[in-house]
Each structure stands twice: as structure tokens, then as C-alpha cells.
Amino acid sequence: MKDSAFPTAHRRAGAGLAVLALGLTAACSGSGSEGADTAGAEGGSDPVTVKVLPEDGGSEVRPDVPVTVQADGGSITDVQVEQSGGADTGDGSDSAVDEVTGQLNDDKTEWVSEWNLKPGADVTVTATAENEDGEESEAVSEFSTVPAPQGQRLELVSNFPTSGETVGVGMPVIVNFDLPVENKKQVENSIEVSADEPTQGAWNWFGDDMAVFRPKEYWPSGTEVTVDMHLAGTEASEGVHGIENHRLNFEVGRKQVSTIDSDSHQMTVERDGEQIQKFPVSIGKANVEKYTTTSGTHLTMNKRRELTMDSSTTGVPVDSPEGYKLDVEYAVRFSNSGEFTHAAPWNSAALGEENTSHGCPNMSTEDAKWFYENSYQGDPLVVEGTDRELEVDNGWGYWQRSWDQWLENSATGEPDRTDEEGTPGSVHTTDE
């Protein structure tokens, strides 16, 4: 994020303008009026007229209305938007995520805010412009935004990853909301993903309350990613606005991709393009679909040092012929259909020889321990050779969609470059 009030961005400009006309070098903190004295010094240039919206004194301003500033007879040199009251950022994130930056046009005569305002806030907009002689004029507009009532406040329930984590190269950004989102385009455009390594990505929605950002290709190793969620003031659905902004930072670790081949009963692990491990495994016996390991590009999701695996959670009673209840070690989840890599010393004879499990890749205790200790959340795990395809919404199966399919399912339909400021479109509902 730049500290400048005029970052380079790529979003649509705002709507109409109200006028605060002021005299040269005069400041206006009350309501301005047309026809105010704007005469410059004798022989000098004409004064700059500064126009601002929302206008001074407003008490019920929608938070998703863009702040606009226009200079007539000069160029804008600075715009500051200060907010007090409203909901504060609840996660201790950097205050920069609350900064209302904007886009300045090429001739510096119009500035439009990029982000929405906090609901229930007192807002002060201070705009400075100068004429061709370098003489400044300043306009100040003070107004209040409408608060978001209880039951109509969009809030963040959870996000993956969390700040400070080191993740695998396939890791998506997953944001879960407490209320359904209808204006998906505006919400997508309110979340800015930036990285120190250039790439492009896009958002998809899984249901109305979960948004997922995925890069076009795996993140480059070592990438540092910042996710600024400018949700405050964004109208998620009719009458429902976000109330807080959040910042998320994470780092992408080494590139580790593991592949399980159903036919050879082997699991290979490559790190940064070099094979570093090869393990014998036994995957699902595939006599029925539920005991068939899913093929496709999975991501490691979480891991448990010890885990009780209970067939009743998949609808198979423990006391039935196919039932089981086992305590396993070194379990690494890679889908939501009960699939984990884990230690299975009772099945040692089948490892590397045949597929006999109920769907989980069985491993020796030593091998399962290594994989457990060397896995990051978001490491790709590819299974090949079974006739059960991984669904895109089964766990984090998001890489099952091609990039073209992923873009087609984005509300904006456009890629978002992580090395450019801004997002593909406007966050302001009133721009639609």
C-alpha cells in the first residue's frame, strides 16, 4: 500500500459533484456556496474552485457513496479523509487498511475514493488544490454516515490462512461471512490481494457466504502476501453493510508437491522440483464409491497428531461388516470426505502392493510421521488413477477448475493482478 493519497489504481470514477467554492487560500469548514469571493491577487491567476461530494453538513450519508473532489482552474494536490466513530478494526491490524485512498485522473482535476466509508462515522474530507501560480485553496467537508443496524452488519467469521502463517504454494485465501452476500462483485472488489511476486488471481464463491481467492498458477515460493479486506461500508446485500476492515499477512514456503499413483501404490514427494521422498502406500479399495480415493489436485488442509477415525461419521455403523473405529497417528487431511494420509501399521503387508483401505492413503508410521512433520497447509497433493474425481467444493479442491473456468465463475469476470494497487472494479454500489 502506498502512503500517497493518489495511488495508481484501476477502478471506475465516481458520480456527480456538489460545489464548495472558496476564495484563494481560504479554508471552508462550514457549508460552502456558489459565488463566494474567488478573486486572486491583482495580476495573478484566477482562484481555484474546489467541488466536493458528499457536501458539508450531511447527517445521513450512505457509507457506500464515493467521495469525489474536483478542481476547476487548477490541480488537486492533496485529499485527506478522516473517520472517527463507527466500528474499529477488530483484529489489531495495521491502521493503513482503514485509510481511504483514491484515484486521481491524469490532469489532476478529479479525485475519487477507492474504498467505502465506515457506517456510523463522522467524516472529514480536506481537499487542497493550487492554481498555475502555485497558490493554494482548501475545502473542508464534514458529514456523518448512516450506522449499520443490528442484524444488517456483515462481519467476518473466519479466514484461511491466518496472519503469520507459512503456507504451501497452492494455498487459497478463504473468507467466510456471517450473512449471505448478494452484491458479490462489490465484495470481491473490496478485498485487495497484493504480493511481492507478480501473479494474477480471482475470486469464486461457494455458497453466498464464502469467497475464495486463487492465483492462476501456484504462488511462487517465498512470496509474501497481504490481503486488505476493505469491507467497512460495502453493501453486501440490500441494506446490509460491512462494518470492519481487516488485514491478513502470510508467507508462501517452499514448493512441495506430492503425488500418489493408484496403480503403483507409491507416493512421491517433490520439493522445489527435486524428488526427496518415495513412500509405499495403500489407498482406497474402490469396491464402492465411498471407499475410492478421489483423484485430482487436493490441498493439505490440516493435521492431527492423533485422530479417531469412526465409520459412523460416513454413515457406516461401527458394528457393521465394513465398520471401524480406529485411533490413528500422524493424520493429514486433504478433503472433506474423510480422506487423510495416516499411519496404518496394521496394514503393512499391503503397503506398496495393493489398495485395501476405506479411502485413506495408509502409510508406515515412520513415513506418515515424516509427511506430517513436513507438510504445510496448502501443499498440493495429487492423486492419480482412480475413477472417482475430486469435486471442486470437496475440501479445498479449487485447483480442479481450469483458470478459464475459475474466471468464468468470478463475479467480476476479470483477473486481479497482485502487483498492482486496486481491484478490477468499483466497491461503490451507487456506481452500478
Q: Which residues are catalytic?
A: 342, 360
Rounded to whole angstroms, the Cα distance separating 20 from 186 reads 29
Rounded to whole angstroms, the Cα distance separating 52 from 6 reads 16
* Residue 322 CB neighbour total at 10 angstroms: 14
H or E stretch at 187 = helix 184-189
- 235 DSSP assignment: E
Q: Which three cell numbers stand for residue 107?
A: 490532469
Q: Which amino acid is at 404?
A: D
Contact 159, 176 (CB under 8 A): yes
- With CA atoms as reference, report the closest residue to 300 among 261, 272, 333, 322: 333
- With CA atoms as reference, report the closest residue to 351 among 412, 277, 280, 274: 280
Rounded to whole angstroms, the Cα distance separating 236 from 178 reads 11
Rounded to whole angstroms, the Cα distance separating 416 from 203 reads 9
- Residue 416's contacts (CB-CB under 8 Å, 6 or more residues apart) are 193, 200, 201, 202, 203, 213, 423, 424
Q: Which three cell numbers stand for residue 384?
A: 492419480
> Strand pairing of 224-229 and 246-252?
antiparallel
Rounded to whole angstroms, the Cα distance separating 154 from 299 reads 29
